[in-house]
Amino acid sequence: MQRTISLSMPNTKEITETIKQYNIISNLHIKKALELKSNSKNKLHKALYRKTRKQFPNFPSALIQCARDNAVEMLNGNKYKKKTIKNPLSSIRFDLRTSKVFLGSGEVQLTTIKGRKKYPIRIPEYFHKYSSWKVKAVIIGVHRQMCKVRVVIENGDVKPFINNKVLGIDLGINNFAVCSDYTIIKANKIKAVKRRYAYLRRRLQAIGTPSAKKHLKKISGRERRFMADYNHCLSKNIVEKPFGVFALEDLKNIRKGRKGKKFNRMRSNWAYFQLRQFLSYKAEDRGKKIILVDPRFTSQRCSKCGFIDKSNRKKGFFLCQSCGFSHSADLNASFNIFQLGNALLDRLSVNQPIVTVNDGVRCIKPPDASYKPVYL
C-alpha cells in the first residue's frame, strides 16, 4: 500500500539549478529515445551517459539515471509523442540513493549539484501517523518561493476487512451518488457552487481589465478545492459503512459522444474519477476493496427480473415493461451494480479492480434495507 504526502521546504539556489539541469538531461534522453525508437534504458545509458557527464560535470551520476528513467516513463505515458518535453522548472524525482527523508524529525537530505544537503521540512500533525512507513521516492518541484515536496511512502501491514458484503454505488449528475443501501447524495449543492463560479468567471472574462484578471487569478482553484473537499468527506462517509466491498461503474469513456452543449458542460465538470480515487485509497486503508463493473444497461435493466429495455427508464423513474417493477431509476441502477459486484465476487478474487460484463449475471433481490431512501 503506497501513499503520497505533500510537504513544503524553503527554496535555494542549488535546488533550482539542480532542477533545471535535471530537466535538460531528461529532455536529452527523450530526444535520443525518439531517435533510437527504443525505450531501452540500457541503450539510452550507453548512448548518453558519458556525454552527459562531460556536459554537466557537477551533476550527480545517480540523478542522471533518475532523469533517464523519468524520460522513459514520460514517453511510455505519452505513447511516444514527439512533443513530449519537460519544462525547465517542472518537478523532478529523487530515489533512495539520492534522498533521505526523516518524517519524525522533519528533515530531508538531497543530492544536489553542490553535494549532499540537509533541509528542514514542515510536517503537519496529521502526517505523523506515517512516521513509521518506508520512504520509496521523493518528488521536488518549485512553487513560487517554496519547494513542494511529495514523499512516496509504503506500508504493507494492513489487516483485511473480514466482511464481504457488497455496496453498489451509482454515480450521476442529478444524484451525485446513490448507494444500494438506499442512501442518496443529492448534487444540488455542487451544482449551485459550480453555477456561481461559472457565472463569476464569465463576467470577469467579459470585462477583461487588469483588475478582473487579477480577480480571476485569485479565485482560480477555489472550485477545484471545494470539489476535492466534498469528495474527501463523501468518500470517508461511504467507506465507513459496514461493507467490505464497494462496486462502482467503470466510467472510463463516459465523456465520449455529444449530447448537447449544456449536458456536455455538466458532464465535463463531473468529478466522478476523483471520488473513485479517494474511495480506493480510503478503502485500502481499512482493508476493504473496490471493484469496477461494466456500466452498460445498468440504467435500463430491471433489478428484479433482469429484463433490459430502453423504455424501462423515463428520466428519474424506472418501470419494468416485463414484470411491472417500479422504483427510482438511480436506486434501480445501484441494485444492478450491487448484483454485478456480488456475482463477480462469487467467482473471482478481487485483490485488484476487475471489469465485468452483464452477461450471465443472475438476478438477486435488492439488499436488505429499509425502502425509505436516506438523503444526504
Task: For 61-101, write each residue's pLDDT tens digit.
Answer: 999 999 999 998 888 887 777 778 888 888 898 988 899 98
Same domain (yes/no): 177, 114: no
pLDDT at 25 over 90: yes
The answer to whether position 200 is within a domain reads no
Instruction: Give the per-residue pLDDT at 295.
Output: 86
**Are 144 and 246 contained in the same domain?**
no
Q: Are strands 317-319 and 313-314 parallel, antiparallel or unpaired?
A: antiparallel
Give the per-residue pLDDT at 355. Answer: 42
Check whether residue 141 and residue 7 sit in a common domain.
yes
Q: Which of 125-134, 163-172, 297-306 shows the lowest per-residue confidence on average (mean pLDDT)?
A: 125-134
Residues 96 and 61 in one domain: yes
Which of the residues 249, 250, 285, 368 is marked catalytic?
249
Q: What distances in angstroms separate CA 11 from CA 16, 25, 118, 152, one per listed residue?
A: 7, 21, 12, 20
- Residue 314, pLDDT score: 87
Between the CA of residue 331 and those of 23, 85, 191, 302, 318, what are the distances in Å? Answer: 50, 46, 21, 11, 9
In a domain, 159, yes or no: no
Tell me if 224 is assigned to some domain. Answer: no
Cβ atoms of 85 and 138 closer than 8 Å: no
Same domain (yes/no): 142, 258: no
Task: Give 302's contacts (C-beta < 8 A, 6+ positions apart).
Answer: 308, 312, 318, 320, 322, 323, 325, 332
What is the 8-class DSSP label of residue 254? T
One domain, residues 14 and 58:
yes
301 & 360 share domain: yes
> Which residue range is the domain that position 109 belongs to?
2-154
Same domain, 136 and 84: yes
249 catalytically annotated: yes
Average pLDDT over residues 317-327: 90
Overall number of domains in the chain? 2
Inside any domain, residue 215: no
Amino acid at residue number 78:
N
Catalytic residue chosen out of the listed positions 73, 157, 330, 346 = 330
Catalytic residue among 17, 154, 157, 170: 170
Same domain, 147 and 170: no
Q: What is the DSSP letter of 362?
A: P
- Which has the closest alpha carbon to 52: 311, 60, 119? 60
User: Which contiguous run of DSSP H or E holds residue 8?
Assistant: strand 2-10
For residue 181, give every residue at least 6 positions away whose Cβ sits within 8 Å of its Cβ, in sequence order, or none. Answer: 167, 241, 243, 367, 369
- Sheet containing 317-319: which strands, arranged edge to edge? 313-314, 317-319, 326-328
pLDDT of 365 over the 70 cut? no
Is 33 found in the same domain as 106? yes
What is the average pLDDT across 273-286? 89
